[in-house]
Amino acid sequence: MNFFKYKAGTFNHGIHPPEMKDDTKGLPIRQFPFSPMIVLPLAQHIGAPSEPVVKEGDVVARGQLVAKANGYMSVPLHAPVSGKVKKIDYVPSISGKKNMGIYIESFPSSSQEVIEGHAIDLANASPGEILSGIQQAGIVGLGGAAFPTHVKLSIPEGKTCKYLIINGVECEPYLTTDHRVMLEQHEDIFMGLRYLIKALNPQKVYIGIEDNKRDAFEKLEQYKPLDLAVEMVLLPVKYPQGAEKMLVTAITGLEVPSGKLPIEVGAVVINVATTAEIGRLLPHGRGIQERVITITGPGIAKKGNYLITIGTPLRFILEQVSGENIKEVFMGGPMMGVSVSNLDIPITKGTSGIVAFKPQQSLENQSEYACIRCGACLDACPLSLNPSQLGILAKNEAYDLMASDHHLLDCFECGSCSYVCPSNIPLVQYFRVSKSIVRKRQAKAKS
């Protein structure tokens, strides 16, 4: 083993779930067929939903702006296909919340040529122009959080960006999206990096990659432009290393204070696929229309890494890849992904993977036992919280105590504690519910 090759440290605790990436990690990214109907939710990012600028019956060309950003904490939407706006109506969403969205009937025979907007010239653009270019391109974190990237890149006053960390960790089992992007899109990644460096002017730039993607690590190392001061960091495999805070700690050794963002310690973390998207879109002034998604799991016959149009309904996708005997399908990885109940929901900018399980993989029949105080959850929690105690308090509905004395609100629902618990206690589920109750109470207390 090349144990001594790891230059970085690590974070405390964490787990080692089975990686399950072998089925798709060797498969090159392929273009997915266009769906006859595209469903574009106006809220596919964190922040204010976009505002439609088209109306029913309008003909839109691929890449045309169809909804503009509603304020700073928002991004615009572009037509992912050429077609006709069928209606602007409620769209099904994964959370069950009612959201508005734009339905576009795609023209099957059109050339699907892309409309381009205002290009951002790397050499002459100011940091502010780059940020607004990123916003105009509709770019959000593609790792799953879908947080508007330009907001993340705006350094609050009084802070400076010391470390720019490109996140190529992809610690979720099954997913190979970022892996393939790193193998196939190194030019875009380094171009994106140039924009990011220009916008942030960081002191150090890192690309962090886990050891199970050594080929990607070597590829980027090999193609790294000589004039770009980037340090490639090979990290030992451990979940949840891809979580921002954990990655900052693994690479810089600094701890992000509780309740704060990585910029508190001078770090900005950007997903590697997001970086590639910036490098691809900004020089042409395009908007984001498609993304790479790993479609995998035992319930999928044609597993692979596909370039899929944003807004493609899940039902269409599963038909194309011959999903069969599916008991459970979720968007994202198996550790933090969300189960889908309605196949009409479309994929969005934040969808990094679609994993389908057959009944054999389903966990529904596990019986729950009492907490036997085995301590496994304590040894798993990357934040060193006490999930055992939190779980007991949640059962007793002592939510305020959980927040005040046991740091409930720091929990980022990584699922490590539930994963290891031998008594099958749904710890994360408790914490999710408890957090939302505490948040509601706090909001009430404020108003």
424 binds another protein (CB under 8 A): yes
Which structure tokens are listed for 403?
């927040």
418 binds another protein (CB under 8 A): yes
Of residues 378-417, those binding ligand SF4 (CB under 6 A): 380-381, 383, 385, 387-388, 391, 411-417
- Residue 313 binding partner per list another protein, ligand SF4, none, with a CB distance cut-off of 5 to 8 Å that depends on partner kind: none
Say if residues 175 and 258 touch (Cβ distance below 8 Å). no
Which structure tokens are listed for 24?
């798709």
11 binds another protein (CB under 8 A): yes
Which structure tokens are listed for 109?
């025979």
Closest CA to 297 of 143, 175, 171: 175
- Residue 319 binding partner per list ligand SF4, another protein, none, with a CB distance cut-off of 5 to 8 Å that depends on partner kind: another protein
Which structure tokens are listed for 359?
């009944």
Minimal distance in Å, beta carbon 247 to ligand SF4? 15
Measure the CA–CA gap between 68 and 118, rounded to whole angstroms. Answer: 15
Q: What spatial distance separates the first Cα and last Cα of the chain, rounded to whole Å?
A: 57
253 binds another protein (CB under 8 A): no
Residues in contact with ligand SF4, shown as a per-residue x/- string from 273 to 302 under the rule CB under 6 A: ------------------------------
| Stretch of residues binding another protein (CB under 8 A), selected from 28-36, 46-54, 215-223, 333-341 | 333-341
Of residues 79-108, those binding another protein (CB under 8 A): none
In the list 150, 180, 245, 286, the residue contacting another protein (rule: CB under 8 A) is 245
Measure the CA–CA gap between 266 and 159, rounded to whole angstroms. Answer: 7
- Residue 198 binding partner per list ligand SF4, another protein, none, with a CB distance cut-off of 5 to 8 Å that depends on partner kind: none
Distance set, CA 249 to CA 8, 62, 173, 399, 436 (Å): 9, 41, 21, 29, 27
257 binds another protein (CB under 8 A): yes
126 binds another protein (CB under 8 A): no
For residue 319, count other CB atoms closer than 10 A to its CB: 12
Say if residues 258 and 317 touch (Cβ distance below 8 Å). no
Minimal distance in Å, beta carbon 405 to ligand SF4? 14
- Residue 387 binding partner per list another protein, ligand SF4, none, with a CB distance cut-off of 5 to 8 Å that depends on partner kind: ligand SF4
Minimal distance in Å, beta carbon 263 to another protein? 14
Minimal distance in Å, beta carbon 363 to ligand SF4? 15
Partnered with residue 164 across adjacent β-strands are 205, 268
Q: Which CB sits closer to another protein, 379 or 400?
A: 379
- Residue 284 binding partner per list ligand SF4, another protein, none, with a CB distance cut-off of 5 to 8 Å that depends on partner kind: none
| Burial grade of 228 (CB within 10 A; 0-12, 13-18, 19 or more) | exposed
Of residues 316-375, those binding ligand SF4 (CB under 6 A): 371-375
DSSP codes of every residue in 374-443:
--HHHHH-TT---HHHHHHHHHTT-HHHHHHHH-GGG-----HHHHH-TT---HHHHHHHHHHHHHHHHH
In the list 66, 171, 263, 385, the residue contacting another protein (rule: CB under 8 A) is 385
Minimal distance in Å, beta carbon 370 to ligand SF4? 8
376 binds ligand SF4 (CB under 6 A): yes
Q: Which CB sits closer to ligand SF4, 12 or 203?
A: 12
Q: Radius of gyration over alpha carbons of the chain, in Å?
A: 22
Total residues in contact with ligand SF4, by rule CB under 6 A? 29
330 binds another protein (CB under 8 A): yes
Minimal distance in Å, beta carbon 421 to another protein? 8
* Cis peptide, bond prior to residue 298, ω within 30 of zero: no
Minimal distance in Å, beta carbon 352 to another protein? 14
φ, ψ of residue 81 to 5 degrees: the values are -140, 160
In 10-120, which ranges are continuous DSSP H helix? 22-25
Minimal distance in Å, beta carbon 427 to ligand SF4? 6
Say if residues 329 and 323 touch (Cβ distance below 8 Å). yes
- At residue 244, the 3 state secondary structure works out as helix
φ, ψ of residue 84 to 5 degrees: the values are -120, 135
- Residue 431 binding partner per list another protein, ligand SF4, none, with a CB distance cut-off of 5 to 8 Å that depends on partner kind: ligand SF4
Query: Is residue 356 left, alpha or beta, with left meaning phi > 0 and alpha meaning psi from -120 to 50?
Result: beta
| Stretch of residues binding another protein (CB under 8 A), selected from 33-41, 130-138, 149-157, 420-428 | 420-428
Q: Could you list the residues that contact ligand SF4 (CB under 6 A)?
A: 371-377, 380-381, 383, 385, 387-388, 391, 411-417, 420-423, 425, 427-428, 431
